[in-house]
Chains A and B, each alone.
Chain A
Amino acid sequence: QVQLQESGPGLVKPSETLSLTCTVSGGSVSSANYYWSWIRQPPGKGLEWIAYMYYSGSTDYNPSLESRVSISVDTSKNQFSLNLSSVTAADTAVYYCARVGGSGSYSEYYFDYWGQGTLVTVSS
């Protein structure tokens, strides 16, 4: 059974960089069969996709966040990470990491395993 666990600071100051790590167990971030992704959910609001990456290092980002976001993978630790720079209160949210499974074209992929989420508050 695949499990994902987010970790990182729960409080970040405005203008600073939010950094989170997702540790994967029961599966490998080096697998060619999956993508690995970050999604967030502001309190009381809906889901917003942030980014995903492939084990090879290829990535794609939400156009609305692309200028501030980067994701990376550490295959030796079976982890992938998120950095979001220049944060504001609008970045306060529960951040989820997830595995993206499927095959074939992008359209055939789906988020099949999710972490429990971690609340990050942006405040001075």
Chain B
Amino acid sequence: SYELSQPPSVSVSPGQTASITCSGDKLGDKFASWYQQKPGQSPVLVIYQDTKRPSGIPERLSGSNSGNTATLTISGTQAMDEADYYCQAWDSSTVVFGGGTKLTVL
């Protein structure tokens, strides 16, 4: 079965750039989506189709996808960005989520 791998945790200082990776076999041949989940809340879509932002998502969140790795980049990280982030892709007609990355803003 298809798997997506994410680092369990990433730390960043306020104002710096955070990069969260998602690895899977030939992931660049698929579209990746990213979801932000804060404690006690439902996941929120922040990036879809590799690079697109839904309405209301800050421009400092961006996505890329090439080769075996999709990356969520948060520029000028703020305290409000502290959350769990999940990548997601499709394997044929089934859905796969990555294990999630906890972003800590120190």
Contacts and interface: CB of A to CB of B under 8 A. Distances in A.
Interface in B33-86: 33, 35, 42-45, 48-49, 54, 86
A117 B41 CA distance: 8
Contacts of A112: 45, 48, 54
A111 B87 CA distance: 11
Interface size class on chain A is 20 to 34
B31 A107 contact: yes
A25 interface: no
A37 B35 CA distance: 15
Contact of B86 (A46, A102, A107): A46
Contacts of A39: 97
B97 A114 contact: no
Interface of B: 1, 30-31, 33, 35, 42-45, 48-49, 54, 86, 88-90, 92-100
